[in-house]
Structure 1
Amino acid sequence: MDFSELVQAIQTLNTEDAFRARLSLEQWRTIGPYFTQHDIRSGDLLIKQGDTDRSMYFLGRGSLQVFMTGGPPGSNKVAILRPGSVVGEPGVFHDGARMANVEAMTPCVVWALRGPRLEELAQRSPGLALELVRAAGGVMAARMRANMTKQLPIS
């Protein structure tokens, strides 16, 4: 899978929590080298609740499920993500523990943007890095609103 397929998936995902970066195709091409592609097998954890990791991930192919361990009954299933979705975006903003598990439901291709690479992008192209962070914040805000509506814990 090449990076342009991921960009297409991001741009066509039509969900409340879609990653809505205001970037041209040329700007995405500039950002692309800062991402790393990973193949994830069905059943493998991409993110483990409680771990610390300063990365956010973009789903290029496959489906991921987000779930929590512990908590009140019925609150463990959080979401199913489709191609174009971002996950783990809070890791860009803080060094705290991951709030949920993210598991591959099918074989997946994900693209990681790790904290140090985002910082490098910010040094070289601050406007592009700022747009990525703004869009990641938008995803977090949409998910927080949805969780508040469902009365799920935010922490």
Structure 2
Amino acid sequence: MRVRRADNRFTLRLRIHNAMTTDELIHVIQSLNAEDAFRPRLDPQQWRTFTQYLTRHEIRSGELLLKQGEQDRTLYFLGQGSLQVYATGGTTNKIAILRPGAMCGEPGLFADGERTASVEAMTASVVWALRLPRFEELCARVPVIALEVLRAAGSVMALRMRGNIARQTPIT
């Protein structure tokens, strides 16, 4: 397809950008420079196997990805865009802004329970979901990868909980 106008080129580029691949997701996860980054010890083939268990979702700016108080056993990886994490009690406590490569919802891998915070898209975003049934399937088929994902998600959760305690953010 020949592109003749600058705005058409932008449109074409935008379509390609929106069709984010799992290789691009792996890259943003591995390149995230944050203390609470997800850092599983997976080789390239294990990464490819792991991403086969994820499903891609687009969310619009202002949409809730996670709602505080709801029960959900899904872990999400942010591929594109930005997400805001906040908790409400008597007041609203802004907890974090997540950049591409970040994960959220990790407590859902460990226990049945209510979400402790809401996560809202600040911009149009692409997230990749690991739902509990797919994680259980990964556990049965490739336990070494599942164990490493669980270890890395637990590490993220522990770091975040320590940070919340230090900031005295209520954990309900």
TM-score, structure 1 normalization = 0.96
Counterpart selection for 1:123 from 115, 123, 140: 140
Residues 100-122 of structure 1: per-residue CA shift (max 9 Å, x gap): 10000000000000000000000
Residue number in structure 2 paired with 1:18: 37
State the alpha-carbon separation in 2 of the partners of residues 25 and 60 from structure 1.
18
User: Which structure 2 residue ranges, 5 or more long, are not aligned?
Assistant: 1-19
Counterpart selection for 2:126 from 109, 112, 126: 109
1:93 is aligned to 2:110: yes
Shift of 1:35: 0.3
Three-state SS of the structure 2 residue aligned to 1:50 is coil
1:133 is aligned to 2:150: yes
State the alpha-carbon separation in 2 of the partners of residues 151 and 39 from structure 1.
33
State the alpha-carbon separation in 2 of the partners of residues 98 and 89 from structure 1.
10
Counterpart selection for 1:36 from 55, 68, 82: 55
Alpha carbons 2:82, 2:125 under 8 Å: kept: yes
Alpha carbons 2:93, 2:169 under 8 Å: kept: no
Q: Looking at both structures, which has the greater relative contact order when contacts are Cα pairs under 8 Å and sequence separation is at least 6?
A: 1
Give the number of aligned pairs: 153
Three-state SS of the structure 2 residue aligned to 1:68 is strand
Residues 34-84 of structure 1: per-residue CA shift (max 9 Å, x gap): 10000000000000111111110000000000011224x4x5101000000
Residue number in structure 2 paired with 1:142: 159
Note the aligned Cα RMSD (angstroms): 1.0
User: Which structure 1 residue ranges, 5 or more long, are not aligned?
Assistant: none
Residue number in structure 1 paired with 2:79: 60
Identity among equivalent pairs (%)? 63
Shift of 1:154: 2.8
